[in-house]
Chains A and B, each alone.
Chain A
Amino acid sequence: MNLAYRDIRHGFGRFILTCIGLGLLLGVVLAMIGIYRGLVVDALTIARAPAVDLWVVEANTRGPFAEASRIPGDVREAVARIAGVESAGGITYQTVEAEHIGAKLRLYVIGYEPARPGGPPEIIAGRGIARSHYEMVADQSAGLVLGDRLRVGRSTFSVVGLTRHQVSSGGDPAVYITLSDAQKLQFDLAPPAARIQQARGAVGAVGANRDTVNAVIARLQPNAAPEAVAETVRRWKHQAAITQEAQEQILIRSLVDRARRQIGLFTSLLLVVSAVIIALIIYTMTMEKTKQIATLKLIGAPDRTIIGMIVQQALALGLIGFSIGAMLIATISDYFPRRVVLEADNMLALGLIVVVVCLMASGLGVRAALRVDPATALGS
């Protein structure tokens, strides 16, 4: 006779409501873990998108994400000539705000050279950029659709393709345009300002060479060692070279570290709160059964019967609550404004933590149950 099951069945409505409450709490914990993971994934997305091995940036900087970096565009040719480099391309990054359907749309603009590294990793609708000007591929999270026309800076772009999961570390959707359009957007002065500069005698204020990029990215041949190629670039003295692995470390440690730690701390606090609540629920469930436990002891039930009842109920509560929380978050995670990444190992880890917490919490209940005096059953 399974007393835990019988007790749960007897008070099923109350038990399931408790499970739902606990499920919501564990759902929040899962969401925080998912947001935490999503933050890291988002931070690395743009850096991983070009699928390159080396980032050449301005000397003494850790650009282009952690620090500003500007280098001449023709560095790409010099990089492309290094032994072991398969291909190289210039790339720019900037954040802009555009008007779309009467609302401000914040975009992370990536300028790249078609046919060179740096373009969108996949096109889920439409096509890639085919013309040299005024076409863009947008991330679907921007809410743009194929054929939309969007004014960015002083130019109007047509959305010719859509990509997905391409957002900046701040969560802004990425749009890809050609490098020349991006350079114009980033470095051209507005006409009045340009005229003033020209009147002051600034050389080449209008139509100056604007082939400046934030970084040159290089894809290496399979047998080439990224660190060796980076060392070659460093010997030029006027450029810095960062391997892909180092770039990802910079992003994690510099760019999202505080946010990551903050969410991590909050998640830990939530876990502690959940543990306390689970312990209180199980303790209360046990104390409500004091008279029944006393009766069981009086009629001769061994401790293992009473302990089994409490531990089984605690585990059932934790696992059902966890399942409800996991299903809830899996269902609504796509509706979060930032990406929520639920990974199997994180779910498993939280599941194990819940089991451990339930066992520890039931220890509290068991301790209380074992102290119940069987003589209590004889009282009124």
Chain B
Amino acid sequence: MADQPLVRCERISKHFGEGETRVDALRDVSLDVFPRQLVALLGPSGSGKTTLLNIIGCILDASSGSMAFDGETVLSEGRWLKTNLRQLRLHNIGFIFQFHNLIPFLDATDNVALVLQLSGEEAGAARARAVELLDYLEVGHRRNAMPANLSGGEAQRVAIARALANRPRIILADEPTAALDSKRAGIVMDLLRKVAIEQDAAVIVVTHDEKIFDRFDRKFVLRDGRLETGDADPAKLDASAGVATVGGGAGGL
């Protein structure tokens, strides 16, 4: 395992509203995620998982705390150090969604090539790379299919190909297997594992899906905005939460 985390969050807090309506979504959350790791963010609804994923995905501001990608600080004292967050996302982060969110009017290849073209790649090269990725994810035979004509598993693989298009080293997935059966969920997790290893990437997954709990290297449990656990220890599974619990708020190994 590399020494430097790919994602380092330090004392991230986020609250919505003020005064009596104030809701603390995250409270002093710290965690490190290293390359080649599959990490799960677990916890009941409203625990702050999606808020944390949005902050790591540079979609949401934090109220306080700092964050670094591969050693470079991007968020300090709750303020973004880069003004163009979309560029930051485009070049550093790949997103995978529960319902794949493919653009319905683009075929599988163009859904993937779009990300490359947004990065300035020429159309022909972008399509060639898209086809290469679809083949890599074993969905190349459906390259010309429109999203509406893809099965759930195929669509999710195309979505993973899109997330990988710019070779990001941070991949964020929001319930990527919730709409899939056990077999297809397993295939998706295998793919994410393959991507993490072959592309030296960190994969952070928000999930409630019990059937994939054992597929992660580490699990972080959030409850009421606090990080209850650091590393997952399958031996200490909390049966009621269905997740591992260990002491210590700060992440890291």
In the complex with contacts A1-B113, A1-B114, A375-B59, A302-B86 CB distance below 8 A: yes
CA distance A10 to B97 in the complex (A): 23
- Which of A37-45, A68-76, A292-300 is the contact stretch? A292-300
In the complex with contacts A1-B110, A6-B110, A301-B118 CB distance below 8 A: yes
- The answer on a CB contact under 8 Å between A302 and B118 is yes
- The answer on a CB contact under 8 Å between A11 and B105 is yes
- The answer on a CB contact under 8 Å between A291 and B118 is no
A-facing residues in B31-76 (Cβ within 8 Å): 50, 53-54, 57, 59-60
- The answer on a CB contact under 8 Å between A10 and B146 is yes
A residues less than 8 Å from B98 (CB atoms)? 380
B106 on the A face (CB < 8 A): yes
A residues less than 8 Å from B212 (CB atoms)? none
CA distance A302 to B83 in the complex (A): 13
- The answer on a CB contact under 8 Å between B103 and A295 is yes
A197 on the B face (CB < 8 A): no
A residues less than 8 Å from B53 (CB atoms)? 378
Query: Chain A 1-37 against B: per-residue CB contact (8 Å), 1 yes, 0 no?
Result: 1010011011100000000000000000000000000
B residues less than 8 Å from A300 (CB atoms)? 86-87, 89-91, 115, 118-119
CA distance A237 to B110 in the complex (A): 86
Nearest CB to that of B146 among chain A residues? A10
A residues less than 8 Å from B89 (CB atoms)? 298-300
B residues less than 8 Å from A298 (CB atoms)? 57, 59, 89, 95
CB A219 to nearest CB in B, in angstroms, measures 67
- The answer on a CB contact under 8 Å between B117 and A1 is yes
A residues less than 8 Å from B86 (CB atoms)? 297, 300-302
A residues less than 8 Å from B10 (CB atoms)? none
A370 on the B face (CB < 8 A): no
- The answer on a CB contact under 8 Å between B123 and A377 is no
A325 on the B face (CB < 8 A): no
How big is the B interface, by class?
20 to 34
CA distance A296 to B101 in the complex (A): 10
CA distance A300 to B116 in the complex (A): 10
In the complex with contacts A298-B59, A374-B59, A10-B174 CB distance below 8 A: no
Indicate which residue in A11, A297, A378 contacts B54 across the interface (CB closer than 8 Å).
A378
B residues less than 8 Å from A312 (CB atoms)? none
CA distance A302 to B118 in the complex (A): 8
CA distance A377 to B98 in the complex (A): 10
- The answer on a CB contact under 8 Å between A299 and B118 is yes
CA distance A375 to B53 in the complex (A): 10
A305 on the B face (CB < 8 A): yes
B162 on the A face (CB < 8 A): yes
Nearest CB to that of A10 among chain B residues? B105
- The answer on a CB contact under 8 Å between A375 and B113 is no
CB B152 to nearest CB in A, in angstroms, measures 14
In the complex with contacts A1-B117, A298-B89, A378-B54, A9-B101 CB distance below 8 A: no
B252 on the A face (CB < 8 A): no
Query: Chain A 302-313 against B: per-residue CB contact (8 Å), 1 yes, 0 no?
Result: 100100000000
A residues less than 8 Å from B242 (CB atoms)? none
B residues less than 8 Å from A11 (CB atoms)? 105
Nearest CB to that of A292 among chain B residues? B103
- The answer on a CB contact under 8 Å between B106 and A6 is yes
In the complex with contacts A6-B110, A10-B146, A378-B50, A299-B105 CB distance below 8 A: no
- The answer on a CB contact under 8 Å between B115 and A299 is yes
CA distance A9 to B98 in the complex (A): 27
- The answer on a CB contact under 8 Å between B101 and A291 is yes
B residues less than 8 Å from A302 (CB atoms)? 86, 118
A residues less than 8 Å from B119 (CB atoms)? 300
CB A316 to nearest CB in B, in angstroms, measures 14
CA distance A309 to B101 in the complex (A): 18
Query: Chain B 158-195 against A: per-residue CB contact (8 Å), 1 yes, 0 no?
Result: 00001000000000001000000000000000000000
Q: 10 smallest A-B Cβ distances: which pairs?
A: A300-B90, A10-B105, A7-B105, A295-B101, A300-B86, A300-B89, A375-B59, A6-B105, A378-B174, A374-B59
Task: Write the residues of chain A forming the contact surface with B, with a CB cutoff of 8 angstroms.
Answer: 1, 3, 6-7, 9-11, 291-292, 295-302, 305, 373-375, 377-378, 380
Other A-B pairs beyond A298-B59, A300-B90, 13, CB < 8 Å: A1-B106, A1-B123, A3-B106, A7-B105, A10-B104, A10-B105, A295-B101, A295-B103, A298-B57, A302-B118, A373-B59, A378-B59, A378-B174
> What are 9 A-B residue pairs whose CB atoms fall within 8 Å in the complex?
A10-B105, A291-B101, A292-B101, A292-B103, A297-B86, A299-B89, A374-B59, A375-B60, A377-B101
